[in-house]
């Protein structure tokens, strides 16, 4: 059985990842590919339970280090229960956020040391890196306005302030430069249709 492809979407708040993930998954399925759509934190029963701890409450509820441990605990369960079995069965996995979010949010944004995050990543993710990572990039003010305008109730990360979100955006830029073989920056300004055509321009060559 050929291993499936592993595609992740990344980006700051309000970048429109969920819409793009949904559209890509629908189109891949329509073209006959078996696809598991999932998200982080979450994507398995245990990981969703941990998600509830990290996305709600006060902005300073967890330190960046503790938050990283919670994210990697949820990721470990998600990999064991959902991602690895799907890839091994030949399905593609399209995931809304993955380990780059920990580098960006807990590392660049929150100040956890890169070596700490990288040690967790080596231990938990190992060789199961994404084949392709699309980083949706948007000016911080535009993204936060979109995210807060959605009226969602779990707003712990959205409430962390502009400087945090600017470090986050810079952090994703740094990730794209550091891992050019798997990362592609996507301009997330404009309509969902505009952004989706940029997504397809990157995904189509690997189909």
Count of residues engaged in binding ligand TMP, rule: CB under 6 A: 11
Does 12 count as an annotated binding residue? yes
What character string, x for contact with ligand TMP (CB under 6 A) and - otherwise, covers 1-40? Answer: ---------------------------------------x
d(CA 14, CA 148): 8
- Residue 71 contacts ligand TMP per CB under 6 A: yes
The response to whether 109 counts as a known ligand-binding position is no
Contact criterion met (CB below 8 Å) for 147 and 14:
yes
Q: Which residue in 3, 33, 53, 55 binds ligand TMP (CB under 6 A)? A: 55
Task: Measure the CA–CA gap between 69 and 78, rounded to whole angstroms.
Answer: 14
Nearer to ligand TMP, 33 or 46 (CB): 46
Find the angle CA(116)-CA(117)-CA(120) to the nearest 5 degrees.
90
11 is in an annotated binding site: yes
15 is in an annotated binding site: yes
116, 68 in Cβ contact below 8 A?
Answer: yes
Binding region for ligand TMP (CB under 6 A) out of 58-66, 76-84, 99-107, 118-126: 99-107
Q: Which is nearer to ligand TMP, 28 or 121 (CB)?
A: 121
Tell me which stretch binds ligand TMP (CB under 6 A): 56-64, 102-110, 123-131, 132-140.
102-110
Kindly report the backbone phi and psi dihedral angles of residue 187, in degrees, each rounded to the nearest multiple of 5, phi listed first: -70, 115
Residue with Cβ nearer ligand TMP (40 or 137): 40
Give just the sign of the alpha carbon dihedral 83, 144, 135, 68.
negative
Among 1, 21, 3, smallest CA distance to 203 is for 21
Burial class for 116, CB neighbours closer than 10 Å (0-12, 13-18, 19+): middle
How far from 171 is each of 12, 80, 91, 134, 176, CA to CA, in Å?
A: 10, 27, 30, 14, 9
Q: Is 138 helix (H, G, I), strand (E, B) or coil?
A: coil
Q: Which is nearer to ligand TMP, 144 or 203 (CB)?
A: 144
- Smaller CB separation from ligand TMP, 55 or 148: 55
Out of 6, 62, 157, 164, name the contact with ligand TMP by CB under 6 A: 157
Q: Which residues bind ligand TMP (CB under 6 A)?
A: 40-41, 55, 71, 96-97, 101-102, 105-106, 157
Binding-site residue set for ATP: 11-18
């Amino acid at each position: 059985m050929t291993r499936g492809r592993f595609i992740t979407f990344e980006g700051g708040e309000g970048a429109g990842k969920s819409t793009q993930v949904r559209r890509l998954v629908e189109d891949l399925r329509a073209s006959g590919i078996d696809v598991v759509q999932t998200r982080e934190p979450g994507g398995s029963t245990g990981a969703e339970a941990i998600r509830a701890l990290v996305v709600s409450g006060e902005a300073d509820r967890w330190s960046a280090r503790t938050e990283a441990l919670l994210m990697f605990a949820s990721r470990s369960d998600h990999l064991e229960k959902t991602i690895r079995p799907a890839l091994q069965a030949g399905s593609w996995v399209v995931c809304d956020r993955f380990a780059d979010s920990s580098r960006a949010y807990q590392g660049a944004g929150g100040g956890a040391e890169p070596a700490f995050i990288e040690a967790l990543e080596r231990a938990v993710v190992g060789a199961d890196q994404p084949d392709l990572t699309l980083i949706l990039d948007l000016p911080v003010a535009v993204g936060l306005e979109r995210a807060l305008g959605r009226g969602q109730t779990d707003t712990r990360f959205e409430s962390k302030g502009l400087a945090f979100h600017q470090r986050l955006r810079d952090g994703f830029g740094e990730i794209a430069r550091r891992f050019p073989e798997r990362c592609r920056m996507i301009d997330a300004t404009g309509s969902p249709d505009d952004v989706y055509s940029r997504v397809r321009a990157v995904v189509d060559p690997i189909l």
